[in-house]
Amino acid sequence: MRAMTAGMAMITCRDPLASTMHANLAQAFSSSLRSSAGTPELKQMIEEASSTITQDNVELSTNFIVKTACEKATQEIEKRLEGDYQKRIAVKNEQGIYRDEAAAAIHAQLPKAIATHPGPTDKALMSIYDQFSSRICGFKANAGDELLSTEPGNGSITPVPTQSKEMELVCQQLHIIIKEVDQTTQAQPHINNAAFQTVCLMREMMKQITVSKDGNQLLQLVSRSTEHLLHAYRLEGAPSKNLLDVEWARRLRDLFIGLMRLLQNYFPLVELSRRITTAIMQIRSDYKWNLEGIEILFKQNLLQSVLWDQHLAGSMDNGGNMEAVCFAQKFVRSIGGGDMNRIQFLKDRFPLTCDQLTKLHQLQSATRTEGINNGINSGAVHPGHQQQQPPVALPMDAAPMPQASAEAMAQRGYDDHEMTAKVEVIMREWIGLCYSPTGQRSPQESLAQMIQLMHEHGVLATDDKITQFFRLCVENCVDISVRVMKSEQMTNGMPTTMIRHRCYYTLDAFVKLMALMIRHSDNGQSQNKINLLKKLLNIIVGVLHMDHEIRKQDFNAMPYHRILISLFNEITGPDPLKLLEPIAWSILEAFGQTFFALQPRRMPGFAFAWLDIVGHRNVIGRLLANTGIAETVDSVKTAATYTQLIISHLKFLAPFLRNIQLPKSIAILYKGTLRVLLVILHDFPELLCEFHYVICDTIPPNCVQLRNLILSAYPHPMRLPDPFALNFKQVDTIPEMAVEPKSNLNMATIIPDNIRVPLDEYLSNRTPVDFLPNLPTLLQTQNQAGTKYNTTVMNALVLYVGIRAIENLHLKRQRISTLTIAHTSFMDIFQNLAIQLDTEGRYLLFNGIANQLRYPNAHTHYFSCVFLYLFKNSTNDTIQEQITRILFERLVALRPHPWGLLITFIELIKNPTYNFWRYEFTSCAPEIQRLFQNVANTCVPPQGSQIPQAQSEGAMLGNSMGANQQQNPSSN
C-alpha cells in the first residue's frame, strides 16, 4: 500500500509542485526588488535563482508530500481493516483458527500462481512484499534488516547461518534466559505495567528465534529490543510509580543488557552498537528522547558516539526542536555529572552536540543581555537582575563546590535567575513569618499570607513552576546549611551541635511550609494532598541523588536527613482536625517508597542518615505501633513496608558481613543495625515472628548472632517455658506446640515450577522416582555470589515441605513426634538431601532447618524432631557432625538464643538414645572437648546430665566468646 501510494503521489505532484515553487519564488523576488525589477539583467537573475532553488529543493518537498500521503493512507487502511483485526483477535482468544469463506471463494477462482492459501504465508510470496517495502519512492532504499546503512564507512552485520553451530549455541543460551524470565513473570506478575509487558514481548521474540533458528530474526531482535527498552524503561520522575513498577523497570534493563552481552559473543561490538544507534534514530520521537534508556546504552558501550552525535545535533535544528535541545542538555549534563575533568571527554565524544549547545547558549545570553540593557536604560530592572547568568548548556562550566545558592543552581544546570531570586525573597519572608508570634499562634493565617505572596510572584501558576519552585527551595536550604557548616567550622571552630542548630533554623522553616501546604491544600481534597506530598518527596529524592553524585566524598547528608525526618514527623503526627486521616495509608506508603528509593545500596553516602531515619522512634512507632495518623491503617501493610526497609539495609550489609574483617565505617553501621533490631525485638517482636523467613534469607550464613536475634522473637502475650526445666516428652504437652505460626508468605510462589510441580507430586504419591536424585542439581545456581546453591529456593523448600508435613499430620489427627514423622515422603526429602548434598549444600540445608527452631509452635516442634531423627538414623558421622556444628555455633554466640534451639540441643546431649558423647568429633581435640563441656554445663546442670567428667573451665563459654564476637561482628 505504501509503495503504491508513494508512487502515485510522486507521479502526480512532482511537476506541478516544481512549477508552483518556481512561480512563487520569482514573484517573491520581484516583489522584494520592485525599484529595479524591470531591467532585463535582473529578470534573468531572478529566473536563474528561482530555477536553482527549485531544482535544489523540489526533491525534498516532493518526498515530504509522499511521506504525508503514506501516513494518511496508512491511517485510512488501519481504520478499514479494524473490523477484520477484531474478528481475528476474537478467534485467537478462543483458541480457534480464523477462516474467511468469502475470501477463500475468491482465491479459489484465481490462478495458482497468485492465489493464497489458509495458514502461514509462503516465504516466496512474502519476498514480493519485502521488495515493495524496501524500495518505496521518496524513502531511503534498504534491503530489509540485513543492511543498516548505505553511508560510507558503515558496515553491516552478517546474519548467523541458520544451521550453524553458533546459532545452536545462541538458541541454547536464549532458552536459559527464557526460563529465567518465565520464573520471574510467574512469581511476580504485574500485568498493567509497561515494563512487564515489554519483558513478555521480548520473551516471545526470543522464543520465535529458538523455534525458527533464523539469523535474520536475531538481527530484528536487536532493533525491536532497543525500541521496547526506550518505550517502557521509566525508572524515575513518575510520582505514581510503586516499588513493583521500579523493580520491573530494572528487570527490563537487566534483560536487555544480558541479551546484548549474549549477542556480543557473535557480533562485533562496533556493528552491534551501530545497529542499536540506527534503530534509535529511526524510532518515534516520544520513545527516542528517553534519557534513562539512552544513558544505559551509553554506559554499556552500545551507543555509537559518532552516529548519535550527528543525529542529535541535526535533530536540534539550531534550536528549532526544543524537545531535542532539552534532551541534549540533560544528556550532556548527565554524562558529565558536573565533573570538570570530563569536559574534554564530552567535547571529544560529542563535538557537534556540544558545539550546537554552546552556540545556542551564546545566542540566549546575547538576547538576555540585550534585554537587560534595554531594561536598565528604561529604569525597569531590579539591580539584583543585572548580573549575566552563567552558562547552562554544558555541565563542565560548573565549579565543584557551590559558594552561594544562586551559583549552585546554575552549576546544577538550572538557568533561571529570575526564579532563583523569587525563591530567595519568598523563603526570607517565610522564615521571618514562621518564627514570629503570629506564625507560632496561627500558622494557617501565615500560610494564607505566603500563598498570596507566591501568587504575586507567579510561582504557583503552573505545575512546572511549582516543581521548579520547590526544587530550588530544597537546593537553597541544602546549600545554605553546607555553607554554614563549612564556614563556621573553619573560622570559629564552633561545636558541631551549635552549628547544626543554626542550620535547623532554615531547614525547619522550609519543612513547616511544606507541611502546612500539604495539610491545607485545595480545600481538603484528599487526592490533591497526596499528589503534592509525592511531588515534594520526589523532588527531595532527585536533589539528593544529584548532590550525592556530584559531591561524591564531600556529600553532606545532614540537611536531607533533617528535612525528611522533620517532614515525616509533621505529616504523620497526631491529626486532631482529621485532615489527613482519609489518606493515612497513602502518606505512609509514599514515605516508605521514598525511604526505599534512598536505601544504602543506591546512596551509600546517605547510609548512616538512612539508618537513623529507619530506626527513629517515630518511624518505628507509625509503621509498627500505628501511632499518629496510622491508627486506622491496616497493620499488615505498615509492617510489610518496614520489613522491606530492613531487608534492603541487610542486603547492603551482606557483602561486607561475609568478610571476617570489616571496615570501621561498616562495623559502626553494623552496630547501629543491631541496636535497631534489638529495639524491634523488645517492643515489636511480632514483626520478626511473621517475617523471620525473608529477613533470615537475606542474612549471610556466617552472621550467627544476627540470625539468633531474629529467631529469638516470640509474641508478646506468650510466656516461654523454661527450656532447662523440661524434657522433650514434656515439650509435647505444651499447647502452643500444635499451633502453626502466623505468616503472610506463600512458599509455593518462591519455589520455581520446575521444582515445585514434581515436588508436590512426590509428596502426594512418591513419584516420579527420579525426582530425589535430581533434586540436588535443581537446587544449584550460577547467579548467587559465594555459593553454588540457590539458598533462597533451598530455604523455601525446607519450610514448604515442613508445612505440608504438619498439615498431613493434622489431617490424620496425629501428634508431631520422631515416630510420626518417620518413613514419610516428607522425611524422604530431608534424608535424601542430607545424604546426596555435598558439605556446602548440607550446611545450607541444616541452616534452613535450624532457622525454624524458634518459639513454641508447630514448626519448631516438627523441625526439632527432624534434626533428632536425622541425627539418630544417619549412618554417616559427617551428618551428625554437621548437625552438631549448626546447633553449636548458634549456642556459642552472644545471647539471645532461640528457645527451640535450646530444647533441641538439650535433648540431644541429655537423652542417651542419641549417644551424643560417644561420637569422635566431640573429643577429637582437648580444646574442642572443653568447648562442648562448657556449653553442656551452661545448658544442663552437671548433676542431672549424662555427660562424662571433664576438666571444668569455671566460666561460661558465652562470656569467653563475647569479646571476639564484638570485635568481628561478621563472624556472628
pLDDT digits (tens, 9 = 90+) for 199-221: 888 888 888 888 877 777 777 88
* Under 8 Å between Cβ of 802 and 794: no
pTM of the model: 0.57
**How many Cβ atoms from other residues are within 10 Å of residue 166's Cβ?**
12
Contacts of 961 (CB under 8 A, 6+ apart): 892, 893, 894
The string of pLDDT tens digits covering residues 744-801 is: 788 888 899 899 999 999 999 888 888 999 999 999 887 766 678 888 899 999 999 9
Place of cell 571552630: 493
DSSP tag of 268: -
Q: For residue 420, what are the CA distances in angstroms to 426, 447, 474, 484, 611?
A: 10, 21, 12, 19, 33
Q: Is 780 helix (H, G, I), strand (E, B) or coil?
A: strand
Residue 928 scores a pLDDT above 80: no
Residue 907 scores a pLDDT above 70: yes
Query: What pLDDT score was predicted for residue 138?
Result: 61
**How many Cβ atoms from other residues are within 10 Å of residue 492's Cβ?**
10
Contacts of 543 (CB under 8 A, 6+ apart): 471, 474, 475, 478, 560
Largest alpha-carbon pair distance within the chain?
131
Residue 827 scores a pLDDT above 90: yes
What does the block give as the cell for 185? 513473570
Give residue 658's Cα distance to chain centre.
24
Query: What pLDDT score was predicted for residue 670?
Result: 93
Residues above pLDDT 90, as percent of the chain: 23
What does the block give as the cell for 35? 525599484
More confident residue, 233 or 471: 471
Entry field: residues in the chain: 972
State the SS3 of 125-154: HHHHHHHHHHCCCCCCCCCCCCCCCCCCCC
Query: What pLDDT score was predicted for residue 17?
Result: 86
Contacts of 184 (CB under 8 A, 6+ apart): 199, 251
Instruction: For 333-451, list the strands marked E by DSSP.
Output: none
Cross-strand pairs, 789: 780
CATH class, domain 728-939, is mainly alpha
Residue 401 scores a pLDDT above 60: no
pLDDT band of residue 354 (cuts 50, 70, 90) is confident
pLDDT band of residue 153 (cuts 50, 70, 90) is very low
Contacts of 534 (CB under 8 A, 6+ apart): 239, 240, 590
Output b/e per residue, 552-588; b: 16+ Cβ within 10 A.
eeebbbbbbbbbbbbbbbbbbeeeeeebbeebbbbbb
Residue 318 scores a pLDDT above 60: yes
Asked if residue 16 has a cis previous peptide bond (ω within 30° of 0), the answer is no
Residues above pLDDT 70, as percent of the chain: 80
Q: How many whole angstroms separate alpha carbon 700 and alpha carbon 683?
A: 25
The string of pLDDT tens digits covering residues 69-103 is: 888 888 888 788 888 777 877 777 776 777 777 77
Query: What pLDDT score was predicted for residue 38?
Result: 63
The answer for 524, left when phi > 0, alpha when psi is -120 to 50, beta otherwise, is: left
Query: What pLDDT score was predicted for residue 119?
Result: 64
* Under 8 Å between Cβ of 274 and 304: yes
Decide: residue 89, CB within 10 A, 0-12 exposed, 13-18 middle, 19+ buried.
exposed
Residue 316 scores a pLDDT above 60: yes
Q: How many whole angstroms separate alpha carbon 549 and alpha carbon 403?
A: 18
Q: What is the CATH number of domain 412-633?
A: 1.25.40.790
The string of pLDDT tens digits covering residues 716-740 is: 888 888 887 776 677 777 888 888 8
Average pLDDT over residues 661-690: 92
Q: Is 789 helix (H, G, I), strand (E, B) or coil?
A: strand
More confident residue, 853 or 85: 853
What does the block give as the cell for 163? 544451521
What does the block give as the cell for 440? 507560632
Q: For residue 848, what are the CA distances in angstroms to 562, 699, 827, 878, 897?
A: 41, 12, 15, 18, 16
Query: What pLDDT score was predicted for residue 388?
Result: 35
Lowest mean pLDDT, pick from 181-190, 702-711, 745-754, 835-844: 181-190
Average pLDDT over residues 532-555: 89
pLDDT band of residue 127 (cuts 50, 70, 90) is low
Q: How many whole angstroms separate alpha carbon 296 and alpha carbon 280?
A: 13
Place of cell 555427660: 947
Nearest to 415 by CA among 435, 441, 389: 389
Residue 134 scores a pLDDT above 70: no
Q: How many whole angstroms separate alpha carbon 644 and alpha carbon 244?
A: 12
Q: Is 949 helix (H, G, I), strand (E, B) or coil?
A: coil
Q: How many whole angstroms separate alpha carbon 468 and alpha carbon 833?
A: 60
What does the block give as the cell for 931? 568447648
DSSP tag of 661: S
* Under 8 Å between Cβ of 534 and 236: no
Residue 121 scores a pLDDT above 50: yes
Query: What pLDDT score was predicted for residue 613?
Result: 95
Average pLDDT over residues 801-820: 91
Residue range(s) of every CATH 1.25.40.790 domain in the chain: 412-633
* Under 8 Å between Cβ of 780 and 833: no
Using N-to-C axis directions, what is the helix angle for 291-299 and 243-263, rounded to 10°? 40
Nearest to 799 by CA among 734, 751, 868: 751
Residue 144 scores a pLDDT above 60: no
Query: What pLDDT score was predicted for residue 646?
Result: 94
> First-to-last CA distance in the chain?
72
Decide: residue 99, CB within 10 A, 0-12 exposed, 13-18 middle, 19+ buried.
exposed
The string of pLDDT tens digits covering residues 227-272 is: 888 888 876 544 444 677 777 888 888 888 888 888 877 777 788 8
The string of pLDDT tens digits covering residues 155-187 is: 444 444 444 677 778 888 888 888 888 888 887
Q: How many whole angstroms separate alpha carbon 837 and alpha carbon 798?
A: 14
* Under 8 Å between Cβ of 907 and 925: no
pLDDT band of residue 274 (cuts 50, 70, 90) is confident
What does the block give as the cell for 361? 547558549
Average pLDDT over residues 802-825: 90
Average pLDDT over the chain, rounded to whole?
78
Contacts of 452 (CB under 8 A, 6+ apart): none
Residue 543 scores a pLDDT above 80: yes
Lowest mean pLDDT, pick from 311-315, 333-337, 526-530: 333-337
Query: What pLDDT score was predicted for residue 125?
Result: 65
Nearest to 300 by CA among 281, 276, 284: 276
Most confident by average pLDDT, 290-304, 376-390, 639-653: 639-653
What is the C-alpha R_g of the chain?
36
Residue 413 scores a pLDDT above 50: no
Residue range(s) of every CATH 1.25.40.800 domain in the chain: 728-939
pLDDT band of residue 527 (cuts 50, 70, 90) is confident
Q: How many whole angstroms separate alpha carbon 327 and alpha carbon 323?
A: 6
Q: For residue 48, what are the CA distances in angstroms to 15, 22, 42, 43?
A: 18, 10, 10, 9
* Backbone phi and psi for residue 377, each to the nearest 5 degrees, phi listed first: -65, -30
Residue 707 scores a pLDDT above 70: yes
Residue 950 scores a pLDDT above 60: no
Nearest to 432 by CA among 509, 520, 502, 507: 509
Q: How many whole angstroms separate alpha carbon 529 and alpha carbon 778?
A: 50
Average pLDDT over residues 48-72: 85
